[in-house]
Structure formats: structure tokens, C-alpha cells
Amino acid sequence: MRKKERRHRRANTITQALNYQLEACCKEGSIQAMVVADVDGLALAASGDPYACDEVAARAVLIGTKVREFTGTLLGSGCRWDVQMTKVKVDGSELLVCAVGGSPAQRKKQIARGASGALRILAAA
């Protein structure tokens, strides 16, 4: 019996695959933005509002040095973001997966989906 293909698009690069994963999470959960960032606060993959992605990645890294998970509000120059963040380990390095906006329940659900997708995509590389 053939396995049903879930993907609608194929990625040529790891970054593109991560971007597609985050885009699917944003759409399904009505999330404003999602980002995967390294421990320096650099966005490695993102979907949604580019400004929110860059700012949340830069700010979440400061929180990520102290905790593995965070749910709360981040403030920036005239902006306010409801955020959920979790850290995942990939080949000994930590990455931050962040969701911005949407309901708390959807942020939690899409963070889990985005983190699991990122681990799967990076493990296949």
C-alpha cells in the first residue's frame, strides 16, 4: 500500500524546507510569525512578519540563555509580541523555535510542530 504524500512543495535547501515548515505552522495556527534562530539570535528560517521574526529572534536569545522554554510578552521599539519559545538540540548545538501571535493554545501546538519538523529536517541533512 502506498503512503500518502503530505507535502505540497519540495524544497531544494534545508533553509527552504525549514521556511516551508514554519509557513505551514503559521497558516494552520493563525500565527503571526515563526522563526528558528541560533544561539546568537540570527534567524536561520522564518515565516510571517519579517520584522517580528528578526526582533523576536534577537530578543529570545537573551531569554534562551536562562530557560529552555518561555511564554510571555516581548517588547520592542513601539512593538509588543506575544511569544512562545522553546530550545531544541541539534548535533550538540541549541536552536530556538519561536511563535509570535495567535492564541496561547495555538502557539503551544505550533511550537511543538515546528520544533519536531526542524529536528526531522535537520536530521535528514
Higher local confidence (pLDDT), 36 or 124: 36
Residue 2's pLDDT band (cuts 50, 70, 90): low
- pLDDT value at residue 43: 94
Contact 99, 29 (CB under 8 A): yes
Determine the length of the chain.
125
- In the chain, what are the domain boundaries? 14-124
Residue-wise pLDDT for 29-76, tens only, equals 999 999 999 989 999 999 999 999 999 999 998 888 889 999 999 998
Tell me the HSE value of 91 on the side-chain side, using a 13 A CA sphere.
8
pTM above 0.75, yes or no: yes
Cell of 45: 528560517
Highest CATH level, class, for 14-124: alpha beta
